[in-house]
């Protein structure tokens, strides 16, 4: 049932890929729910963000449970739950209540996958250079995040049954991946002692000043590129908004995947610099989106998606590498969980933009978010410079 030619780390990474596919392909279907089911922009963006309500609690719980029962068992549960979540969304047929249930359920699956899955890939990459495990996990998730909406957008635009077929494709993918990873190796034994209570870096000032401020930029960049950018050019898409939404998601998250390899090489000796570059890209990408709100343009929209994708990938790799460098093995899963929880706050940005856009112009709202991103990036830069100065003085002493 399991091909021996597949490296162990790749089989674990496939679980992250399949779960990530189902997490974001919902974004490509937002125009379908608006056009066919009459849901408002605020409702569909709220449904898009709703899975964070299941994700964050599951993230924190799975980080502890994974060390007790083993990361492989958690990922088995996740793949079964992912099939159930997509089935609920498929059968919802545009009804908001059931879409909400499906999104929260799928969020719990995604949350349960992220920290144990990242840690499992890292454990199976022990013979590779430092940072390789974090990069492999980030690329696997990002490929799923980008591939899902790209394929589902095309299916919903041109294939029949747009409320059903994209979910059926994901269910089939999840089943195949479950077969491939079900018996993937699990290094070591699950921990049963007190080691899993190790507080790790999350109780340090360095974490909250050098990693936390830019973390929400990960999915702020992604959600703005996936949801906000397409909504600003709906008239320019000439009836192909569903396909363009999938393209925007694929372009945003695909760029995030492409930048991660060079970002990993830089992060190996300058993780802070990677996060700062990502923060700068987030500022520029949101500013481009603000310009798009004033003057819609398909080419400008695509430029914005590329810049936002770069910000997404850079901040993700910089943060994960910094966490891996700071955390002990016993604290790694929980530290990853806290980092990911902070990144997912960015999923609420499209809903906030939609609500505030009823009072102020979208350009003004987006410029406000660009300013906020700039402030967070500056805070991280100041904290990083201060810590390097302290380390230099301590070394000289």
Per-residue pLDDT of 228-281, as tens digits, reads 999 999 889 988 999 999 999 999 988 998 998 898 888 888 888 999 999 999
Q: How confident is the model at residue 198 (pLDDT cuts 50, 70, 90)?
A: low
pLDDT tens digit string along 29-67?
999 999 899 899 899 999 999 989 999 999 888 877 877
| pTM score of the predicted model | 0.86
User: Mean pLDDT: which of 133-142, 321-330, 345-354 is highest?
Assistant: 345-354
Considering Cα of 79, then 81, then 85, then 87, what sign does the dihedral take?
positive
* Interatomic CA distance for residues 391 and 397, integer angstroms: 10
pLDDT tens digit string along 375-387?
999 999 998 887 7
Give residue 369's pLDDT.
Answer: 97
Give residue 22's pLDDT.
Answer: 93
pLDDT tens digit string along 71-80?
899 999 999 9
Give residue 115's pLDDT.
Answer: 80
> What domains are there in the chain, each with its CATH number?
8-182+200-396 (1.20.1250.20)
Of 142-156, 178-192, 301-315, 360-374, the poorest mean pLDDT is in 178-192
pLDDT at 15 over 80: yes
pLDDT at 197 over 80: no
pLDDT at 205 over 90: no
Q: How confident is the model at residue 298 (pLDDT cuts 50, 70, 90)?
A: very high
pLDDT tens digit string along 140-159?
888 898 899 999 999 999 99
pLDDT at 394 over 80: no
Q: How confident is the model at residue 195 (pLDDT cuts 50, 70, 90)?
A: very low
């Amino acid at each position: 049932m399991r091909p021996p030619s597949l490296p162990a780390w790749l089989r674990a990474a496939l679980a992250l890929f399949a779960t990530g596919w189902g997490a974001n392909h919902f974004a490509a279907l937002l125009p379908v729910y608006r056009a066919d089911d009459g849901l408002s922009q605020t409702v569909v963006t709220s449904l898009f963000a709703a899975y964070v309500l299941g994700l964050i609690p599951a993230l924190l719980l799975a980080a502890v449970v994974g060390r007790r029962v083993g990361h492989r068992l958690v990922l088995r549960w996740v793949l079964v739950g992912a099939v159930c979540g997509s089935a609920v969304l498929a059968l919802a047929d545009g009804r908001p209540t059931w879409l909400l249930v499906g999104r929260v359920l799928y969020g719990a699956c995604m949350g349960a996958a992220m920290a144990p899955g990242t840690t499992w890939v890292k454990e199976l990459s022990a013979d590779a250079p430092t940072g390789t495990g974090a990069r492999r996990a980030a690329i696997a998730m990002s490929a799923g995040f980008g591939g899902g909406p790209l394929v589902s957008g095309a299916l919903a635009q041109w294939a029949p049954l747009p409320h059903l077929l994209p979910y059926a494709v994901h269910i089939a993918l999840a089943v195949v991946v479950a077969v491939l990873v079900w018996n993937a190796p699990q290094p070591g034994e699950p921990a049963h002692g007190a080691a899993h209570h190790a507080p790790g870096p999350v109780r340090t000032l360095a974490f909250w000043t050098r990693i936390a401020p830019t973390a929400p930029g990960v999915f702020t960049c992604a959600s703005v590129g996936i949801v906000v950018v397409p909504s600003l050019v709906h008239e320019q898409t000439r009836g192909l908004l569903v396909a363009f939404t999938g393209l925007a998601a694929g372009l945003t998250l695909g760029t995030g995947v492409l930048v991660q390899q060079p970002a990993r090489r830089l992060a190996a000796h300058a993780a802070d610099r990677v996060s700062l570059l990502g923060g700068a890209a987030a500022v520029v990408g949101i500013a481009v989106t603000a310009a798009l709100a004033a003057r819609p343009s398909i080419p400008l929209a695509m430029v914005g998606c590329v810049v936002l994708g770069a910000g997404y990938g850079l901040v993700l790799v910089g943060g994960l590498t910094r966490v891996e460098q700071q955390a002990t093995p016993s604290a790694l899963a929980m530290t990853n969980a806290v980092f990911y929880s902070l990144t997912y706050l960015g999923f609420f940005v499209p809903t906030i933009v939609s609500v505030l856009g009823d009072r102020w112009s979208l350009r003004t709202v987006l410029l406000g978010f660009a300013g906020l991103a700039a402030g967070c990036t500056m805070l991280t830069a100041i904290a990083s410079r201060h810590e390097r100065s302290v380390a230099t003085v301590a070394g000289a002493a």
